[in-house]
Amino acid sequence: MTMKRTIKSEDVTSLAVTTEGNQQEVVADVYTPLWRKPYAEQLQHKETSASLEDLLKIEDDLREYFCRGSGSATGLTSLYLHVSNTTHKCRHKDPYRLVFGAPHIEESCAHNKFRILPDTSFPFNREAEELVISAVQKTAGIDESTNLLHLGSGSGVQSLALARHVRRVVCLESSAAAVDDLEFNLQLNDITNVAVQDGPLHQPQDLPLRHKIAAS
């Protein structure tokens, strides 16, 4: 946007004095050049602009390499890019950017299908996981009258498998991303006897569904 009238420094001062509240801040942001801002804010603005440009360039390079370059030999079907200033991954705080391909892939375990996203919790060794599920079923002696409470259910690999052999499963999970995955996987496999509750694992007594568990 190009301004036809030249704004002088005294104009900025008079505008800032005669306006009130939030309007004063808006006027200052609009008319104050970048070089008049504190040095720390200048650096932040420049770093942000450069980061966005670099990010788009990286995405273009990745697409070129994996789709048309030598990386195409890998047969990669989906690629995400995640940029974060922390080592903790969170799709809600720092969203993943889909560079190319399908938004998710699908895996199976214990006769159920699961949506897999970049930060989805899913066992690397499916055969071992199925053995664990079978051992839990036999050791716990669960049957069609059992009400099962699963703390830290993740994406639901164990919960969904055991749900086919019990009356009801209540899953308590502290990760919002895992809750999203679990609810999606329940619909994907048409399982209706599993209730999902997000909350802290160290406070199971605060579970809103506890009275339903006791009554069922």
Per the annotation, binding residues for S-adenosyl-L-methionine are: 173
Structure tokens at 87: 């080592």
Which residues lie below 8 Å from residue 81, measured CB to CB, with a gap of 6+? 55, 58, 59, 62, 96, 97, 99
Structure tokens at 180: 């999203």
Beta strand pairing call for 105-109 and 112-116: antiparallel
Beta strand pairing call for 168-173 and 147-151: parallel
Strand boundaries in the chain, DSSP class E: 78-81, 97-101, 105-109, 112-116, 147-151, 168-173, 194-198
User: What's the chain's length in residues?
Assistant: 216
Query: Annotated binding site, which residues?
Result: 173
**Distance separating alpha carbons of residues 10 and 31, to the nearest angstrom:** 11
Do residues 200 and 179 lie in contact, with contact meaning Cβ atoms separated by under 8 Å?
no
Longest dimension (CA), the chain: 82
